[in-house]
Structure 1
Amino acid sequence: MVDDSESTAAQSLMNLKRSEGELLDTFQHHLANRPFGYQDLYLMGIARRALAQAKAFRSCIEDLNWLVAAALLRLQLDTVLRLYALYWVSDPEEFAGRVFAGEQVNRLKAADGQQMSDRYLIDKVKDRNAWVDAVYKNTSGVIHFSNRHMHAAIRLTNEETGDVEGFIGATDPKQEIEDFAETIEAFFHCTAIIGVATADLFKRFNAIHRRIRPSPAAASTHTAGAG
């Protein structure tokens, strides 16, 4: 008999893989053989990051590497927050152009005049996705070195005596995939949100005149750097 948590973990991994394909399909549908502006470049950067993190996340799950998988979940949530910023600025094209030029999202202001800090973005997103606040708090401790990493280096060997043993290694062989069920499900939901919001934003962008476009110099610089 298959354990429910194992079934949930496996199903969430399949859902994640499917959502990655759907995100690629969205770009093939909306960006095929047409000019694009800074808003499109913003979404392309979002997708590039989201898909790279998703592939790395699935690799970590296969390796039973929870510490890095949790850090990637935090980064995927960060991608969600930055994507949703496009909904709350007065001029998405100008905003995307400023980010392209090197300005940080958290130093720019929304249409309501508020600075778009992580807290501002989380409070806006959690109106419809209440779980993002808990995920943000629970995974922030794995981005920078913290007590989470110290706790991960020990194992309780005797509950009665409180004896522990040290553990150093990239993975924990005593863990199983079902131990990551909640982490996998949260990562899938983040990736699915990115896909749905991206498709919606593309439809909105198609109805808006793109006033700012990348300069030929910027494009040639990117091409040279890519080589």
Structure 2
Amino acid sequence: METNHSEAINNALTILSKKRDETLDLCMQMLSVDNQNMYPVDLLAIGAAKRSLSTSAGFRNLIESLNMTCARSVLRMQIDTSLRFSAIWLVDNPHSFANEVISGAHIRTIKDKNGQKMTDAYLVKTLSQKHPWLKKVYENLCGYIHFSEQHLFSSVQSVDDETRSFEFAITDEDSKYPESSWLEVIECFNEATDIFLSYLAGWVVTKGNPEGVANHALHSDG
């Protein structure tokens, strides 16, 4: 189905498309520096990059098909990728941390350098210090991951207070949302992707500096 979007939405989607090339370019740099040596953090970065690219492609398709319900769920997934990849910067030994995750350990059970378990709530709180918008958006999106009142609200088309009646739309399209809502979810997705890319770029810089790799002093632009 072809959807006619506004210029602002098309511009935001164009920005999102460019982040695909940026992700691939950073991955190529990562695999090339330091004589093409591989570290445990590289493996986490590859997995995170793959997830980011896949969710980005799916998100764009959801916007095109006017599926706000799923678009918000996928935005939550993209934030999750950024959150959990950022945990590498919170531990004393990033490569040991990466090995734990690769072995199947849940990040929420692993402690950071201050002895705090890196639950999603803790990672959100920590990352929100640099990205104040994150906490509120994350909390609102949680209702889209699990079946909740958010899904009922999504189906309500109109409310007549005088007659106390509701009009519902049981459909796979979310046509009731104004342009501002679509633009907001795309811009949030772009910002969430930027967070991940900043940490990925930080790892590329670190890996390109053998001293940094050896002493675990990770660089970050996040």
TM band (smaller chain):
0.7 to 0.9
CA–CA distance in 1 between the matches of 2:15 and 2:100? 34
Q: Deviations over 1:129-159 (max 9, x none)?
A: 0000011011010000000111222221545
The answer to whether the aligner puts 1:149 opposite 2:148 as a matched pair is no
SS of 1:165's equivalent?
Answer: strand
Identify which range, 29-38 or 117-126, moves more after superposition. Answer: 29-38
Query: Could you tell me how far 1:176 is from its partner in structure 2?
Result: 5.8
Please report the TM-score for the alignment, with normalisation by the length of structure 2: 0.86
TM-score, structure 1 as length reference:
0.85
Gap regions ≥5 residues in structure 1:
212-227
Residue identity over aligned pairs, in percent, reads 31
Tell me, what secondary structure is at the counterpart of 2:36?
coil
Aligned runs of 1:119-158 on 2, under 5 Å? 119-156=121-158, 158=160
Other structure's SS at 2:111 match: coil
Q: Which amino acid letter does the alignment assign opposite residue 25 of structure 1? A: D
Counterpart in 2 of 1:66? 68
TM alignment of 1:93-132, pairs within 5 A = 93-132=95-134
Partner of 1:16: 16
More displaced stretch, 25-34 vs 202-211: 202-211
- Any stretches of 5+ residues in structure 2 without a counterpart? 217-222
Report how far residue 39 of structure 1 moved: 0.5
Contact 1:23 1:195 in 2 (8 A): yes
Question: What SS does structure 2 have at the residue aligned with 1:141?
Answer: helix
CA distance in 2 between partners of 1:86 and 1:174 (Å)? 40
Partner SS, residue 152 of structure 1: helix
How far the C-alpha of 1:73 sits from its partner, in A, is 0.6
Deviation (angstroms), 1:169: 1.6
Equivalenced residue count is 207
Supply the distance in 1 between the matched residues of 2:123 and 2:9 (Cα, whole angstroms): 28
Any idea what SS the aligned residue of 1:90 has? coil
Ranked by relative contact order (alpha carbons within 8 Å, sequence separation 6 or more), the top structure is 1
SS in 2 for 1:155: strand
Q: Residues 187-206 of structure 1 correspond to what in structure 2 (within 5 A)?
A: 187-206=189-208
Q: 1:141 to 1:126 in 2, by over 3 A?
A: same
Distance in 2 (alpha carbons) for counterparts of 1:148 and 1:95: 35
Letter of the 1:124 partner, please give it.
T
Q: How many Å separate the matches in 1 of 2:133 and 2:103?
A: 33
Q: Which residue of 2 aligns with 1:42?
A: 44
Q: Which amino acid aligns with 1:118?
A: D
Q: Distance in 1 between matches of 2:155 and 2:175?
A: 13
SS at match of 1:188: helix
2:128–2:135 CA contact under 8 A, matched in 1: yes
Q: Which amino acid aligns with 2:31?
A: L
Per-residue displacement from partner, 1:184-227 (whole Å, max 9, x unpaired)?
0000011112112101112213421499xxxxxxxxxxxxxxxx
Give the aligned CA root-mean-square deviation in angstroms: 2.0
Please identify, of 54-63 and 6-15, the stretch whose mean Cα deviation from structure 2 is larger.
6-15
Deviation of 1:174 after TM superposition, in Å, equals: 4.1
Letter in 2 for 1:85: A
